[in-house]
Structure 1
């Protein structure tokens, strides 16, 4: 895909990776319609990127707000690229989540993205070349304790991407599923950052993810998992999940410690497990 000829609708533009994605897409020559819930952040992006961007304040869970995005896309000559980057995270043991928190996460991470994609498909199919990008996660392929509902949303988004790609195989619309590993954004809570340090989890910057997004689009790729050895673990989990079960079980006391901290049950000091048990390479990086 030639990004210098592209007009992009980017959801989640005011989120953790939003600025980096806007910068990378604009640098590649694209024009971008920014979609986000925070009016002040949208205005700041417009000030930074000038005529290359326009914006729509919208909560994609609301039908009228999705209609605003579709109307704005119709007014953009050459619209051909949708990047679904809107999402939230939740860290904690599943049993501690209430119904409202589960519903909110699924609505934002999955349902709203599907509904907007469906609404914009007629415009995308009319373009000479188009693409839908769904920003997933390593946790869309590896179920990880402490992130059960988030994993559910990303597993579903990955399945949707695969099915939609096959459904659109006889059109000019491609579907890219991009799965970052742990990324340093404000979405991560204090407990998540502390746990990642304790487990020595490798993380990427938003800028690294944005560079990979542009790279994948320019090569018309269809599914990209970021990070090594995370790509290996994704394959292992598909072929021999019992191997990862054993490795991740050894992490469970540490995950539970910080999940309980998130619920206010304990402090953020090192747990006994962290101070006495060395981690394997697989435990460090997953």
Structure 2
């Protein structure tokens, strides 16, 4: 039986643009009401306008998922606005390029605090509200780099593998309850994540620009298409959603060559 989205309430983090905005619009198209959260108020208002035009009831919440006080306060705010919470989409995230030796401890911790600890904080805060519903779902957005670990992505990949492991364990723990768990692995989706990625201090600008151009070259799928794939997966109660042919191919290669996959894949990635 499908997870019905009409007249339910979804909380979406990172909703000010990219995949978060696309997911929010796809949910609104199906009659789902929305609590949109992002650190960018301007981005939130743009997404809210798109969702309201589709008939959704929308509340906007400025949120930094690294701020534990803001996260703890959010569920009551959402509940006060909507009266129920049925779906949580933990999508907010940041990127950080550079090898492990190039990335400072402070930058590594900054990324983990948002990409992983933010997911854990949000889950801890909202899980009691999800349990209170008749049929609820928790959706955590990992990455292609939560399936494989390329050179130069030690911090980002660590955070996305952590999201994957956390989600899988939580699914097993919640088995038999009213809360289902989905983990999402987007491949190359055309968002601003590469352009907005933090660069390690001391790396020459030309090297930063080269890496950024290479990353952007791999971001091909339109965000609205990715949003539709994710929401269809939520409707179908999928435990894992692979977004894009690149994610599907990488998943197969890693399964059959769990140690050697990088030697097989890196030529295509570095071209």
Query: Normalised by the shorter chain, which TM-score bucket?
Result: 0.7 to 0.9
Query: Structure 1 stretches of 5 or more lacking a match?
Result: 252-282
Q: For 1:79 and 1:173, locate their aligned partners in 2 and report how far apart those are by CA, in whole Å.
A: 12
Unpaired runs of 5+ in structure 2? 196-208
Query: 2:39 aligned with 1:37, yes or no?
Result: yes
Q: How does 1:1-286 map to 2 (within 5 A)?
A: 1-50=3-52, 52-75=57-80, 76-189=82-195, 191-196=210-215, 201=218, 203-248=220-265, 251=267, 283=268
Deviations, residues 74-124 of structure 1 (Å, cap 9, x unaligned): 222231100000000112222111111101100000001111101111110
TM-score (norm 1): 0.82
Distance 1:191 1:132, change over 3 A: farther
TM-score (norm 2): 0.86
> 17-26 or 133-142: which moved more?
17-26
- Going from structure 1 to structure 2, the CA distance change for 1:59 and 1:144 (only over 3 Å counts) comes to same
Aligned residues: 252
Partner Cα distance (1:191, 1:183) in 2: 19
143-152 or 70-79: which moved more?
A: 70-79
Q: Quote the offset at 1:157 in angstroms.
A: 0.4
Deviation of 1:61 after TM superposition, in Å, equals 1.5
Deviation at 1:182, TM superposition (A): 1.2
8 A contact 2:33–2:58 mirrored in 1: yes
Larger helix proportion, structure 1 or 2? Answer: 1
- Aligned-residue offset at 1:284: 5.3
Cα deviation for residue 203 of structure 1 reads: 2.3
Residues in 2 aligned to 1:285 and 1:2: alpha-carbon distance in whole angstroms: 42
Work out whether residues 17 and 43 of structure 2, in 8 Å CA contact, stay in contact via their aligned partners in 1. Answer: no
User: Which region of structure 1 is more displaced relative to structure 2, 162-171 or 54-63?
Assistant: 54-63
Cα gap change, 1:138 to 1:39, in 2 (>3 Å)? same
Alpha-carbon shift at residue 193 of structure 1 (Å): 4.9
Q: For the Cα contact (< 8 Å) 2:25–2:50, is it kept in 1?
A: no
What is the SS of the residue equivalent to 1:9? strand
Query: Residue 36 of structure 2 aligns to a residue in which SS?
Result: strand
**Bigger radius of gyration among the two:** 1
Over 3 Å counting, the alpha-carbon distance change for 1:126 and 1:29 in structure 2 is same
- Cα distance in 2 for partners of 1:209, 1:192 equals 23
